[in-house]
Amino acid sequence: MAYFKDEQEVYEFIGKLFQDLVDDDELAPKFQKANTIVQYQYRNPESQITVKMLEDEDGQVDLGPTDLDPEVIMTMEADTAHRFWLGKVNVTVALARGQMKAKGPVAKILKLVPLVKPVFPRYREQLEAAGRTDLVEAA
C-alpha cells in the first residue's frame, strides 16, 4: 500500500518541504544556482510538483497544474520520493533501476543531490511535528 493516501498528502508533506526550501535564506540561493525548472511527476497517488529555481528570480513551487515550463522532468513513485527525503534512497541506484526516471539536463539536478542531504532531518521533523510518525516508520 502506498504511503500517501491521496495527492493532498503528497502536497502537504513533500510539497511543503519544497516550499520551505525555496523560502530558506541559506539553501534557496544554492538551489537557484541550478538555474532550472524541475517537475516531479509522482505515481500512486498521481501528483505533480513543479519547482522554479532560476538565478536572480524568486523561487516558486506549484502543486498540481502549473503554467511553468519544466526543463527537467523527474518521474517516480510518490513512495520513492518519500523515502528519498528520509535519506533512504541512493539516487544513482534508483536511476539505474528505473525507480527514478530523469528527462532533460539531468546534470542540473544531480548537482543538487549533495546539497539536499541536510534537508533529510528536516523532512523527518516535519512529519513528526505533524503527528505522522507512521510515515517515518513505514518507510
Partner 1 sequence: MEAGGEALAGPPMSGYKDFWQFAAPTRVVAGRDLIGGTGFEFAKEGAKRLLIVTDEVIHGTGLIDRVRSGVEDGGLEVVGVYDDVPPDSDSAVVARTAAAAHEHGADSFLAVGGGSVMDTAKAANVVFTHGGDTRDWEGFFGLPREDDGLGRPHELAPLACIPTTCGTGSEVSFAAVIKDAEAHVKYIVGDFPMYPRLAILDPEATRTLPPHIAAATGMDAMTHAIEGYVSSEWNPHADAYALQALRLIRENLRPAVESPEDETARGNMLVAANLAIQPTSANAIGIAHSMSHPCGAHYDVPHGVANAINLPWVIEFNAAGGEPIANRYRDLNELLGLEVGGRGEQVGHALAEHVRGLVSGLGLPTRLSEVGVPEDGIPILVEGAMGDGCTLVNPREPSEEDFAELYRRAL
List interacting residues with partner 1 (CB under 8 A). Answer: 33, 75, 83, 86-93, 95-98, 101-108, 110-111, 113-114, 117, 120
Nearest distance from residue 98's CB to partner 1, in Å?
5
Q: Looking at beta carbons only, is 22 or 95 nearer to partner 1?
A: 95
Say how far apart CA 33 and CA 69 lie, in whole Å. Answer: 18
Q: Using DSSP bridges, classify how beta strands 72-77 and 36-43 pair: parallel, antiparallel or unpaired.
A: parallel
Enter the C-alpha cell of residue 37.
Answer: 525548472
CA distances from 118 to 4, 18, 46, 86, 113 (A): 23, 13, 27, 11, 10
- φ/ψ of residue 105, rounded to 5: -70, 85
Q: Looking at beta carbons only, is 8 or 33 nearer to partner 1?
A: 33
Nearest distance from residue 71's CB to partner 1, in Å?
10
Nearest distance from residue 131's CB to partner 1, in Å?
22
Q: Looking at beta carbons only, is 45 or 87 nearer to partner 1?
A: 87
